[in-house]
């Protein structure tokens, strides 16, 4: 829990961008998927992870037997420079249109690899299970997409925004873009007097003017 919260705070402190439109989404309760094997429940944690690593490696090899094709690319013809002169002629002659590529086959092959990988694990006795997500409030509901950065996307749960004195608070879901860590959802409290943010009563961090936290605060003020 503490590790997930620490990573969440790092993402919030980074420079972020406001979403182009505050779109509303009906989100399910936050859950995390994981591979489990009930036939290996008698093993220790280290033995279980060793068997899982072996299965993943074997299935990865199996999925890579399906090669990913190169995208289908074409070079558009250069523009007709007839009738141009001077700077316009020079620019026209030097400009090379960017190559246009179709990644349909590439994306299809990648999805097929993922399916092969999953089916391989299932054939070895593994099944995909779910557990409750990380954070103090993992409930679903209507959320508004507010901000993003390279680490995650951030959604404010509608009707959860409150203002008490100098503090704004709301339930925020952070959907991770990084495969190595989980998404997070909890109560975010921003104190405008100290210009700090706390998540789930954790350590307070200072809010930089161009950070995700600053964007969240601006939207909370609109929604309260």
pTM for this predicted structure: 0.64
Specify the pLDDT at position 20. Answer: 62
Q: What average pLDDT score do residues 103-131 get?
A: 95
Q: What average pLDDT score do residues 15-32 get?
A: 82
Angle, CA 155 vertex, CA 210 and CA 33 arms, to 5°: 120
Q: For 107, what's the count of Cα atoms within 13 Å in the CB-facing half-sphere?
A: 4
CA dihedral 137→138→139→141, nearest 10 degrees, is: 110
Check if the beta carbon of residue 189 is closer than 8 Å to that of residue 169: yes
Specify the pLDDT at position 2. Answer: 44
CA dihedral 203→209→215→220, nearest 10 degrees, is: 70
What is the tens place of the pLDDT at every residue in 146-202? 998 888 899 999 999 999 999 999 999 998 877 656 789 999 999 999 999 999 988
DSSP-derived secondary structure letter, 7: H
7 has a pLDDT exceeding 80: no
DSSP 136-183: S----EEEEEEEE-SSEEEEEETT--EEETTEEEEEEEEEES-TTS--
What CA–CA distance (Å, rounded) separates 213 from 3? 19
What CA–CA distance (Å, rounded) separates 85 from 88? 6
What is the tens place of the pLDDT at every residue in 121-133? 999 999 999 988 8
Q: Which residue has the tokens 């503490």?
A: 2
Type and span of the H or E element at 31? strand 31-36
Check if the beta carbon of residue 186 is closer than 8 Å to that of residue 172: yes
Domain positions in the chain: 2-30+134-223, 33-132
23 has a pLDDT exceeding 50: yes
What is the tens place of the pLDDT at every residue in 34-81? 999 999 999 999 999 999 999 999 999 999 999 999 999 999 999 999
Spell out the SS3 assignment of 75-123: CCCCCCCCCCCHHHHHHHHHCCCCCEEECHHHHHHHHHHHHHHHHHHHH
Specify the pLDDT at position 3. Answer: 47
14 has a pLDDT exceeding 90: no
């Amino acid at each position: 829990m503490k590790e997930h919260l620490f990573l969440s705070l790092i993402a919030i402190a980074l420079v972020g961008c406001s979403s182009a439109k505050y779109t509303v989404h009906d989100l399910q309760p936050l859950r995390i998927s994981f591979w489990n094997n009930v036939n290996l429940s008698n093993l220790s944690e280290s033995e279980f992870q060793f068997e899982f690593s072996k299965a993943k490696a074997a299935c990865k090899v199996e999925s890579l037997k399906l090669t990913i094709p190169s995208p289908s690319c074409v070079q558009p013809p250069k523009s007709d420079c007839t009738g141009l002169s001077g700077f316009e002629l020079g620019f026209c002659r030097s400009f090379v249109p960017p190559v246009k590529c179709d990644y349909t086959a590439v994306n299809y092959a990648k999805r097929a690899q993922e399916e092969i990988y999953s089916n391989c694990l299932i054939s070895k006795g593994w099944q995909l299970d779910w557990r409750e997500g990380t954070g103090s409030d993992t409930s679903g509901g209507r959320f508004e997409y507010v901000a993003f950065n390279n680490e995650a996307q951030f959604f404010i749960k509608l009707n959860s925004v409150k203002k008490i004195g100098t503090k704004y608070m709301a339930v925020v879901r952070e959907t991770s873009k990084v495969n190595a860590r989980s998404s997070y959802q909890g109560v975010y409290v921003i104190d405008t007097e100290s210009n700090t943010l706390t998540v789930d009563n954790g350590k307070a961090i200072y809010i930089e003017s161009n950070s995700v936290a600053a964007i969240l605060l601006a939207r909370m003020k609109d929604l309260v």
